[in-house]
Amino acid sequence: MRSIFEEPNPRVTDIFERWEQGYQVSRVLQVGVEVGVFPALSGSPASAGDLAQRLGLDPEGARKLCAALTAMGLLEHDGHAYRNTELAEAHLVPGRPLYRGDGIEHGGDLYFRWSGLGNLVREGRWGDTPAHPAPGDAGATRRFILAMHNYSVAGRAQAVALAADLDGARRLLDLGGGPGTYSIALCQRFPGLEATVRDLAHTHPYAREVIESYGMQDRVRLEAGSWDDEDWGRDYDAVLMSNVLHGRSELNQAKVRRAHAALRAGGQFLVHDFVVNPDGRGPLSAALFDFNVAAYRFDDLVADLRAAGFTDVRGVPLTDSPQTLVVCRKPGT
């Protein structure tokens, strides 16, 4: 006879419950940001009922939301009122240097896309929710561009700047650079460097916000253009593509060739992206991103770089980043 008391394994149960319920925690966080809980409580503690009145929420819904956010360590309650914890105050109040709210709201946008994952696996296509905002949707575009800044400024841009070797470089092309965060980090690390962030014109107002907030507008300039354009300019000392080469395709192979053409002889090409291990089985961050858009396998990326004429192709270890940095050179001096 089987004994039910011999079957539970608490460690295994915990692993599966975290996987099964992870989306619930994500949605609580996303909705907390979407409805404005954290700026409302910044310097102004309130009961759940008062918060519901301030934000136009259902009182019972507000009570449950505050309780869950407290259990997550984002709010605290003194018996009378809720207030932000230090973690929430530093990262979830707009205007803070390490604000993550745009990224969290972008995650909320992607939540609806990911609800179609079964569709993708069964039929080879997502539902109707795109991975990137339409050019005419100013609100979604702003949220997307500032989300890219949220992710980058939290450690990824600094990791790339610290790993790069651009001593002596004067001109950097940051292709598809969005908010310009990587250019800012590289220019701050290398005082002789100036950067051109080339991206679609409708992204520029939001990129300008970021660049001017760091006082870098004299060294980081914006240029309207697409990676579909044949000519990206010439004689750059370095070209950066961060989160631009999403998976192996003819388009991405063309981007690599155009990067080669834009560089001077001896110039560096830096690729920073989610890259799948050669065996195709991880890391998890890249495997998940492969669903969302697509991700290169490391050996395919190396092969495409070499086919375009690059040499000295190597991966560079990064700290504080779930992504991979690959560096190579255009031959010559």
Cis peptide before 133 (omega within 30 of 0): no
**Which residue, among 271, 265, 268, 266, has the nearest Cα to 253 in the 3D structure?**
271
| Dihedral (CA of 169, 202, 156, 246) sign | negative
| Better pLDDT: 118 or 2 | 118
Could you report the per-residue pLDDT of 32-57, keeping only the tens digit for each? Answer: 999 999 999 999 999 999 999 999 99
Residue for token digits 């950066």?
Answer: 240
pLDDT of residue 25: 96
User: What domains lie within the chain, and their CATH numbers?
Assistant: 4-94 (1.10.10.10), 154-329 (3.40.50.150)
**CB–CB of 183/195 below 8 Å?**
yes
pLDDT of residue 129: 65
Could you report the per-residue pLDDT of 185-217, keeping only the tens digit for each? Answer: 999 999 999 999 999 999 999 999 999 999 999
pLDDT at residue 255 greater than cutoff 90: yes
| Dihedral (CA of 304, 182, 156, 105) sign | negative
The string of DSSP letters for 176-241 reads T-TT-HHHHHHHHHSTT-EEEEEE-GGGHHHHHHHHHHTT-TTTEEEEE--TTSS---S-EEEEEE
Residue for token digits 């969290």?
Answer: 104
Q: Rounded to the nearest 10 degrees, what angle do helices 250-262 and 298-307 cross at?
A: 50
pTM of the model: 0.90
Q: Alpha-carbon distance 232 to 251, whole Å?
A: 15
